[in-house]
Amino acid sequence: MVAKTIKKWVFWAHLIAGLIAGIFVLCMSFTGVLLTYERQIVEFSERLHDVDPENTNTTPTKQKNALISTDVSTGTSPRTSSRISTDEVVSILQTLKPNDPHIYVRWVNREGAAIPAWAGRHSFLLHPYTGEILREGEGMVEEFFHVVTDFHRYLSLAGDYRAVGKNITAYANLIFLFLIVSGLYLWLPKRLNLRALKQQFLLPKTYRNSYHRNRQWHFVFGIWCLIPLFVIALTATIFHFDWANKAIYGAFGESVPAREQHEEITSLSADEVPYETLFKSAQQHANANEYEDWYSMWMEIGEDIHEARFFIDKSIGHRQELAYSLFFDTRTGKVTKVLRKQDWSLGGQAWGTARFLHTGEYFGVIGQTVAGLVSLLACVLVYTGIVLAWRRLVSEPKRLRQNAELTV
């Protein structure tokens, strides 16, 4: 009797919570589906700008002549018979955006690959042999994913209302966690035997009616995607709540690290060693550490004085086990620090793992596929849950009233 009462209360709490947060869970789930292969799709869109080295006109364009008349590192005329140097890329960015010395350059380990580069918030895609600007700003694909991401995180609210959108998605995610746990409790059959579990785990060959279909979909899809959905929802809390970050670091006896504060860099004139030299040193370091098959190498300068950071990545996405950071002193060209995942604190490693468990990227494309699939099933769960709730709260009471009136 007590168990029946508890289950009744859990059922109504589950139903009411689902009605309150359902629409927001649907929004986050659907946008999660759209974001499943974001990295791969963005990478493919950039590959459309690749050039054939053999058919490349190596005569400097007027635009390049205007941007880089000399090599900033040696004072010589820029080479156009091979790819442009890292120093030339930096020179182009500084000419375009002289007030933004915080620069990223991404080299892709593929012949003829266009060069993504950023000066502050301004992004460009450069021709790898002439320095011509192939695209200024983000392309349509990147803009699309930014719109989807803003909706996923903030319901597309902007300005002062962005915090409101973030709080709505944060607490809707907490309710979603409750729905997952309470759903498991409600899923458990009265009698734990093989026949009962089979009915709860597998879809029937035929359905008696739409109610039976929706109920079975809700139960079966719910149990099959319960664990990955729980992981996705649980790891999402680290993006929203301080207590979640304190918990993940506290589990290893650590406190949440303070945000690093760097001296504002207004000029790159303090960097003495040519960036191309540093890039070649990073390549040599990668080759010596079994990273000769790196996919991309990011160079960041202007974040900290006298420092250049190279992020060497074997994967398309930031799979931490397949990447490491290499730091150089720009005055001497010497390596000052090598940072791999195992070099982080245990709390930092756990946070990084949780971050990429949320998107499934921790397990590569297979993990992304699972995350996208269960997000799609979450949309089905919201739909069937609302339909079942409507039947219980509206349709069924209405039918009973009509039958009572006919009886009278």
- Rounded distance between C-alpha atoms, residue 23 and residue 29, angstroms: 10
The predicted structure's pLDDT at residue 200? 82
What does pTM read for this prediction?
A: 0.87
Tokens of 216: 């079975």
Q: How many CB atoms lie within 10 A of CB 318?
A: 15
Question: What is the C-alpha separation between 240 and 346, in angstroms, rounded?
Answer: 21
Q: How far apart are CA 222 and CA 374, in angstroms?
A: 9
* Distance (Å, whole) CA 333 – CA 273: 6
**CB 114, CB 125: distance < 8 Å:** yes
At 401, which amino acid appears? R
User: CA dihedral in degrees (369, 371, 372, 378; nearest 10)?
Assistant: 140
Distance CA 296, CA 116 (A): 11
Which of 106, 77, 76 is CA-nearest to residue 89?
A: 106
Distance CA 157, CA 134 (A): 32
User: What is the per-residue pLDDT for 31?
Assistant: 98
Q: What are the boundaries of each domain within the chain?
A: 1-49+140-257+365-408, 52-128+264-344
**Which segments of 210-334 are extended strands (E)?**
296-301, 307-313, 323-329
pLDDT by position in tens, the chain (length 408): 788 899 999 999 999 999 999 999 999 999 999 999 999 999 999 999 999 887 766 544 434 444 443 344 433 334 445 889 999 999 999 999 999 999 999 999 999 999 999 999 999 999 999 999 999 998 899 999 999 999 999 999 999 999 999 999 999 999 999 999 999 999 988 877 788 888 888 998 899 999 999 999 999 999 999 999 999 999 999 999 999 999 999 999 999 998 877 788 888 988 999 999 999 999 999 999 999 999 999 999 999 999 999 999 999 876 788 999 999 999 999 999 999 999 999 999 999 999 999 999 999 999 999 999 999 999 999 999 999 999 999 888 888 788 877 776
Rounded to whole angstroms, the Cα distance separating 39 from 383 reads 29
- C-beta of residue 331 within 8 angstroms of C-beta of residue 270: yes
pLDDT score of 189: 85
Q: What's the pLDDT at 318?
A: 66
* Tokens standing for residue 389: 């709730």
Query: Cβ distance 371 to 229 under 8 Å?
Result: no
